[in-house]
Structure 1
């Protein structure tokens, strides 16, 4: 056994089918032996307890004496064998039981709420955050703004966490060489960070250090880029293959991760994906998230990276996700959205995807919108989506993509451009009338 943070699940005697109670604590050892500290002033004692020693969702069973120490290498008072580590064995085989894999703690889980919102303004009183009861905001840095520290501190003072999405653009970029070499600024919406030359690496490092230092006490969490599995549109990065692209993004992510953690060790840093899981897109430069995640995990598994997922309804235009045919309850589903988000959270519990501490990686639903083709349907689907997220222990936060509609936000629907209305309010420029979804979201806990 090792001195790690563990999950202990207690049962009465050896009745394996009885209900389980989860505890968070740690193993301790002294001159007498091993015991389990519940970290709340109590310890495990008086019989059998299940303990998930490596946070992989598989627990072993240990016999704790009245004193709290485990028995090792012997026969227990009720006649069972335990090995040298104290684990119950039958015919020399350690007995195990499936339990829920441990969840990483974060500013989200500590808040007691998953309700979040992307805001168009950084001034707390200029948003609907307080009225809605939102506990988390997310903000897109599209112009390398360097003067929002006090605004975000004020937001945090109101008990609301702040997550920043760092988007690389030519606009006001204090480190132009952090952009891909040779761009015109017209290739895509946003760009990847340049790590193909030493000058680019140095510029990206300076940029990351600058912003991580500026916002060290005012931003809780960071998302690096946008929908990186579609680089031609949202993270433009000249590359020769998906492997080469993964190399570049992983290098840039590591630079940002290091700078952020040096300035704020408790911050989480996320990799953003859209909902395309295994579908072969007709668009060029569009990668399956499942493939790219595997490659990035190979390169970044030593870091405590998180995932920021965008589980929009299929095709974006129809807000009803419940009948989305491409979202299936299969590891090879074409897309993953709120209909089948459990596919992603199940996948992230695989041992090879666990964080370095053995826990399931941080996961936020950092962007999703439900087009207001019908206000009743939009409100209904938002409520259903939120409750799915609320009841999934591996989802830390649920962010609606728009407080207000964004005028002129066009998407290709059936070959024709159609304006989207993702906001729970009409566009600010058009009066900002709250839709039914506003009051429904406000009522959700």
Structure 2
């Protein structure tokens, strides 16, 4: 969720007059008359038939009812001005002339002007007005002239289980945006849109074939195996096992950016001497020259192939490095207790770190914030893989200051690695090209060598600077890769991807960070970041956390296991209701739709399964790195419920050995979190008590001591 939280508030108002409900259903071929045939019904039949078969459009009006976080003004019969006033702006259409059903093939279109870009657009079907029945789309580009925009509703209408009587439009999550809209309408798709849809379907079919080959690669039993890859300061050492009586076997190098299941050619291949033995061992230079640059094989994978005719056939899975010789050996540090804080930064109420006895913290690091492709007035030049890059020293000064505050208190820091798409510069190279601008953050471009090198350069700079045993800049102990990847469209966008395709990208990002970090700190660990969605996904652009974990295990088992952990965000089921013991959508089994504080044991049970262990021996680490409890307001009752939720959750956290840290979010109430008040402290601009410590602050302070501060609550 983080500080840019966009709430999933239920629709405030739905159509209740039902004037035309159940009179007819539109199916694209005609109208099916419902109920008794009366003159009034025939009248509406004629009107609606004219709308669809004549003009082929249904003009829509925006309702003044049910709008949220907007100032709405009608400027013409079909024109409106919408000014966003807070972080969850949306409007409803007036009741539709006829309900929409799953058989409709319709386009929503409109024209707009907006001086500043809108960072996302989402459409909900009403009813039911939930994420599953919504369409998330790219936001609106800034424009001073009337610009057309359209949304294809067919896919989400096919999911409709009841008649749709209204639509809701959400306009990003930033206040102060002014949008003019006109000619809002439903219409049939035109020829260009039908052709584009056909092309999109063809692309989906091709991607399904790619996925099938990838799944086959991960589950296939190969006759050969690379058993071990060790990276030393100068060498790459490989050991493997070959199939009996095989001929024409070669060792090949596979870039981490490549898709193994799609490769036919390899830039490097070397015959494997057979000598009648099944075991083999080879040593290669770690660094090599290519096209005038020095390249590092740290991020290479290795496989055995067989030459058949003029082609190579894969005879083993690709193997990443299992062991990296570390340049330094900083002392391993573990949290002295489970109590942590999220979003550490130097300008927060730093005295809380001592007063609350904080022993772990997360720090958000925007790679775009400091990475540059060209020199500037406040830049530090550094080389990576034969290319010079630049780091913004102003950003680094703030990051140093933050990490030094943690270091002097022996706080274990987990860095949350974030990046954005950008039309130019480092972000254009490093962000995945399929990332939709609707996402708050993007997946790194680990699908091209240029993108991977740009991303790796940033990670290598951070790992080197913040593992330095001198401690001059502070320390990063662990690496949380991106944010809530099962809410991918919002928080780590890679475009339209299946769960397996998405995980292939994410796995490569995790591997990159793991290998780079271990060059400097053998104790560093990477973590997968997951929201509360567990066995099911709430909508089209979301994934089930358990499914992603299972896919990650498959990649780990196929290409060599590595010691990743889980950074989980177990918010209450309803973010606005702190009484988490009342949570819905939770069970005590692995089929639970969500994991919240109420059933936190499910996550612990999952990591206790031997098939999930690292190397089959060691349970995965769990850090709870973002969760908090809402106080609906600052009334005594709301504040007591918030504190009670913390006490209730802490009893569970203390009892579960697999949980290493609980980093509370948010430190201070934030006005850009969709109306939530989940801070330990009040708003910094509160009129009566700015940054005031709420009862939960004192409860949190008492955790881990002889007695938890008592709070009244009923269950």
The reply to whether TM is greater than 0.5 is yes
In the TM superposition, residue 126 of structure 1 has moved relative to its aligned partner by: 3.2
Greater strand percent: which structure?
2
In the superposition, the TM-score normalised over structure 2's length comes to 0.44
Alignment of 1:92-131 (within 5 A): 110-122=334-346, 126-131=350-355
**Relative to structure 1, is the Cα distance of residues 127 and 221 closer, same or farther in structure 2, using a 3 angstrom cutoff?**
farther
Partner of 2:549: 293
In the alignment, the residues of structure 2 paired with residue 237 and residue 114 of structure 1 have an alpha-carbon distance, to the nearest angstrom, of: 33
In the TM superposition, residue 429 of structure 1 has moved relative to its aligned partner by: 3.1
**Relative to structure 1, is the Cα distance of residues 260 and 205 closer, same or farther in structure 2, using a 3 angstrom cutoff?**
same
Partner of 2:693: 434
In the alignment, the residues of structure 2 paired with residue 173 and residue 165 of structure 1 have an alpha-carbon distance, to the nearest angstrom, of: 22
Contact 1:313-1:319 within 8 A present in 2 as well: yes
Partner of 2:494: 237
Partner of 1:425: 681
Partner of 2:504: 247
In the TM superposition, residue 149 of structure 1 has moved relative to its aligned partner by: 2.7
Partner of 2:448: 197
Alignment of 1:15-414 (within 5 A): 110-122=334-346, 126-142=350-366, 143-144=369-370, 145-147=395-397, 148-170=399-421, 174=426, 176-181=428-433, 186-217=437-468, 218-281=475-538, 283-301=539-557, 302-356=561-615, 358-373=617-632, 374-410=638-674
Contact 2:421-2:432 within 8 A present in 1 as well: no
Structure 1's consecutive aligned runs of 4 or more residues displaced over 3 angstroms after TM superposition are 123-127, 142-145, 170-176
**Relative to structure 1, is the Cα distance of residues 122 and 197 closer, same or farther in structure 2, using a 3 angstrom cutoff?**
same
In the alignment, the residues of structure 1 paired with residue 533 and residue 349 of structure 2 have an alpha-carbon distance, to the nearest angstrom, of: 36
In the TM superposition, residue 440 of structure 1 has moved relative to its aligned partner by: 0.8
Gaps of 5+ in 1: 1-105, 411-418
**Relative to structure 1, is the Cα distance of residues 312 and 210 closer, same or farther in structure 2, using a 3 angstrom cutoff?**
same
**Relative to structure 1, is the Cα distance of residues 295 and 422 closer, same or farther in structure 2, using a 3 angstrom cutoff?**
same
Contact 1:250-1:299 within 8 A present in 2 as well: yes
Q: Deviations over 1:144-172 (max 9, x none)?
A: 44332353134222122212111112489
Contact 1:246-1:295 within 8 A present in 2 as well: yes
In the TM superposition, residue 239 of structure 1 has moved relative to its aligned partner by: 4.4
In the TM superposition, residue 181 of structure 1 has moved relative to its aligned partner by: 1.8
SS in 2 for 1:263: coil
Contact 2:588-2:599 within 8 A present in 1 as well: yes
Q: Deviations over 1:85-112 (max 9, x none)?
A: xxxxxxxxxxxxxxxxxxxxx967x443
In the TM superposition, residue 215 of structure 1 has moved relative to its aligned partner by: 1.7
Contact 1:124-1:154 within 8 A present in 2 as well: no
SS in 2 for 1:229: helix
SS in 2 for 1:112: coil
Partner of 1:41: none
In the alignment, the residues of structure 2 paired with residue 151 and residue 371 of structure 1 have an alpha-carbon distance, to the nearest angstrom, of: 27
SS in 2 for 1:339: helix
Partner of 1:19: none
In the TM superposition, residue 212 of structure 1 has moved relative to its aligned partner by: 1.4
**Relative to structure 1, is the Cα distance of residues 240 and 138 closer, same or farther in structure 2, using a 3 angstrom cutoff?**
closer
Gaps of 5+ in 2: 1-330, 371-394, 469-474, 633-637, 705-715
In the TM superposition, residue 119 of structure 1 has moved relative to its aligned partner by: 3.5
Contact 1:242-1:287 within 8 A present in 2 as well: yes
Contact 2:435-2:442 within 8 A present in 1 as well: no
Q: Deviations over 1:89-143 (max 9, x none)?
A: xxxxxxxxxxxxxxxxx967x4431000114523687351111111111111233
Name the structure, 1 or 2, with higher relative contact order (CA <8 Å, separation 6+): 1
In the alignment, the residues of structure 2 paired with residue 111 and residue 234 of structure 1 have an alpha-carbon distance, to the nearest angstrom, of: 27
Give the paired residue count.
Answer: 329
Contact 1:124-1:155 within 8 A present in 2 as well: no
**Relative to structure 1, is the Cα distance of residues 250 and 383 closer, same or farther in structure 2, using a 3 angstrom cutoff?**
same
From the CA coordinates, give the structure whose radius of gyration is larger.
Answer: 2
In the superposition, the TM-score normalised over structure 1's length comes to 0.70
Contact 2:570-2:595 within 8 A present in 1 as well: yes
SS in 1 for 2:444: coil
**Relative to structure 1, is the Cα distance of residues 113 and 240 closer, same or farther in structure 2, using a 3 angstrom cutoff?**
closer
In the alignment, the residues of structure 2 paired with residue 409 and residue 154 of structure 1 have an alpha-carbon distance, to the nearest angstrom, of: 26
